[in-house]
Amino acid sequence: MKDTTAALKSGDLALEFSVRDGQLALTSLKTGRAAWVEAPAQGQALWQLALNGPGTQTAEVPCTGLKVSRIEERPERVTIEWAEDASHGLKGVTMTVRAEPSKSMTHWSLSAELAGGWQVRRADFPRIPGIVLRRRLKFAAPAGWGVEYDVKPGMSYGGTYPSVMAAMQFAAFHNGGRGLYIGLHDRSGSHKHLSARADAAGAAFICTNWPAIDRKATSFRLPYEAAIGAFRGDHYEAAHIYREFTSETKWGKNLSLAKRGIPDWMRETDIWLMPDPEPLTNVESCRKAAAYFGVPISLHWYRWHEIPYDTLYPEYFPPKAGFVEGIKKLQEAGFHVMPYINGRLCDPNSKTWNDEGGSKWAARKDSGEPYTEVYGSKVPLNVMCPATGFWQNKIAGLVKRLTQECGVDAVYIDQIGAAYPERCLAEDHGHLPGGGTFWVDGYRRMLDQIRRELPKGKALTTEEDGECWNDQLDALLLVNTPTSASARPVPIFPAVYSGRALSFGFQYIPGDDLQRSLPWRAKMARAFVWGSQLGWVNVDRIMDPKAAAEAEFLRNLARCRNHGHEFLAWGRFLGEVAAEGDNPRIKGEGTGSFSGTYPIDLPSVLASAWLSDDGAAAVALANMSDEAREVTVNLPLEAAGVNEGGRFEVTVFGPEGRLSSARSSAPAQSVSVPARSAALVVVRGPGSK
């Protein structure tokens, strides 16, 4: 076909495609005058397909390897078609980009017609090359709590969805108050990989989808549209776009914490502690901690079983002697007890693997071998296929024994929300081989089965925040967010799921965090202002007299949090707030969760804004320093329904309760936050209850 161009306008977003010598390129992507993509180098494909053919044939086909046969430009849609490539099993490929002008958003889809005997095993779409490297350009990614990178040559991010490194299906570039949103609005939660990188020529974003392989199919269509759009703001506003999308998903709709039936004790927990693993001997130290902190505390119990940690899974029974009696003693002392199990791994030396036929139900590679992983125990463990009834029944049985025989209050099922899915090529596991949705659907069936037999008042939790099971889990342990110099934690997860999902912890607490002090304070301060239940630390470590200042900080944060559950526990996160005035930065270094060190450079006082279900708003403040700080914050009056110049009630809470209450019309309020402590400034307008 002749050389041509096609343009599409969608609100503030403008795109231009060009065809030269039959090759397609995205030559321009702009927000107003700001160019996000500008004349990328030739040969940079917008999609690429990997195919399996008859026998052992394979093919890698980028869009630059085919000729465009047709391009159609309409007011709110551009359609591009590629000609047949019989040698690679493609009878045609179509890409459609449609506009949504009211949201400055475009939606990209990809489909292909296939020759007999050919299947798509991988689809890279969208691929957005040639993103301009502007000064102070940032990239926000959905890893754990959320991370943000400076976009410069050498920057690299990658995460497989759903897992801790890609807990949600979107990312964003932003700079100077303008942003480029890239979302994979996939309501099915299919297996995919998100990545971004930058070199001297620019930055690029790629989503790789791993579909199920249907040998009877004669066509292929990606199970989602890619949403690419413009927004004003930073990672918070990008998260708000994705939050709206999640209301259309099975795991995100009707997800109100107030209506989900989460046990009250779980909703009201302020601190999580990890007791000594030996039953009965751990009761007294927990009692002392409860007396000191004076807030609801729950216990996460590791190594309660006789088998060594990360060894011989899933043979957790019999437990250590005195386990059931120890649970009762801890519950009598006012605690709720949650033991650990792993929901993903099986030891090839276990009875389950060798005597019960478990080896048949491991996820399988192309070679037929199971996927093997090795952790701190140095014992090889195999990844089980969650779509199999065998594995679903095994985990459900463990939870039933723990909750009904042993009487625990909750069960923590490790790795479901953290560890990435594997492609399973087994032909007899009840799912199509390859990728697709079997991983998500399999765990959903497992959790549904568990919940059907879960006694009232009992809870389920998992590691991390892979979002596809949020509606089936009562709380999520968020501790794997990267600690590195290049990836800064940012509150993306609460921006999307606050008011709809409970979290506890922040990041791992290495052995020297309490001795260094600043890493501990930084983690707990951010956990407080980002809405997480606090702690997740060993009882004896935090109660050690050498950690008195760190324990005091945790106590003050937790007691202040206890007065603000309507905001920090189940309210809506409105973003971080600048605390102006006497707020010097604190700098230091922490030991990385897995290796190396990372820098810490934060204001002494961190702050965030929140909205409660009844229309009240609040600002939460945490002072990490050893001196009292007098700071000024702008109150979220609009969120509280207060008109400009209108009067409202402002109440300040500290760890011991209400400190002051007054009527005001000033949007900026001065707050004194004591050393190693916290404050909550609550605003009630005329419409709040």
pLDDT digits (tens, 9 = 90+) for 469-516: 999 999 999 999 999 999 999 999 999 999 999 999 999 999 999 999
CB-side exposure of 438: number of CA atoms within 13 Å? 26
Instruction: Give CA–CA dist 333/325, Å, rounded.
Output: 13
CB-side exposure of 69: number of CA atoms within 13 Å? 11
The predicted-structure confidence for 217-257, as pLDDT tens digits, reads as follows 999 999 999 999 999 999 999 999 999 999 999 999 978 88
Q: What is the mean pLDDT of the chain?
A: 96
pLDDT at site 41 = 61
**301-323: average pLDDT:** 98
**445-468: average pLDDT:** 98
> In this predicted structure, which of 42-51, 261-270, 625-634 has the lowest mean pLDDT?
42-51
Q: In residues, how long is the chain?
A: 689
Per the structure block, which two tokens stand in for 171?
Answer: 């990312």
pLDDT at site 33 = 82
Output the CA–CA distances (angstroms, integers) from residue 459 to 408, 446, 545, in the order listed.
Answer: 9, 15, 33
The predicted-structure confidence for 582-606, as pLDDT tens digits, reads as follows 999 999 999 999 899 999 999 999 9
**pLDDT bracket for residue 38 (50, 70, 90):** confident
Is the pLDDT at 633 greater than 90? The verdict is: yes
* Chain mean position to CA 90: 36
**288-298: average pLDDT:** 98
**pLDDT bracket for residue 34 (50, 70, 90):** confident
Output the CA–CA distances (angstroms, integers) from residue 63 to 52, 60, 72, 127, in the order listed.
Answer: 17, 10, 17, 11
Instruction: Give CA–CA dist 290/558, Å, rounded.
Output: 12
**pLDDT bracket for residue 687 (50, 70, 90):** low
pLDDT at site 42 = 63
The predicted-structure confidence for 79-105, as pLDDT tens digits, reads as follows 999 999 888 999 999 999 999 999 999
Whether the CB-CB separation of 574 and 610 falls below 8 Å is answered with yes
> Assign residue 39 a region: left if phi > 0, alpha if psi is -120 to 50, beta otherwise?
left
Share of the chain above pLDDT 90, in %: 93
pLDDT at site 314 = 98
CATH hierarchy code of domain 576-684: 2.60.40.1180
pLDDT at site 44 = 87
Neighbouring C-beta atoms of residue 59, cutoff 10 Å: 17
The predicted-structure confidence for 106-115, as pLDDT tens digits, reads as follows 999 999 999 9
CB-side exposure of 642: number of CA atoms within 13 Å? 24
pLDDT at site 137 = 97
Query: Locate tokens 């921006």: which residue?
Result: 495
Is the pLDDT at 352 greater than 70? The verdict is: yes
pTM: 0.97
Do domains 4-246 and 576-684 share one topology? The answer is no
* Domain extents in the chain: 4-246, 264-341+388-573, 576-684
CATH hierarchy code of domain 264-341+388-573: 3.20.20.70
**529-539: average pLDDT:** 98
Share of the chain above pLDDT 70, in %: 99
CATH hierarchy code of domain 4-246: 2.70.98.90
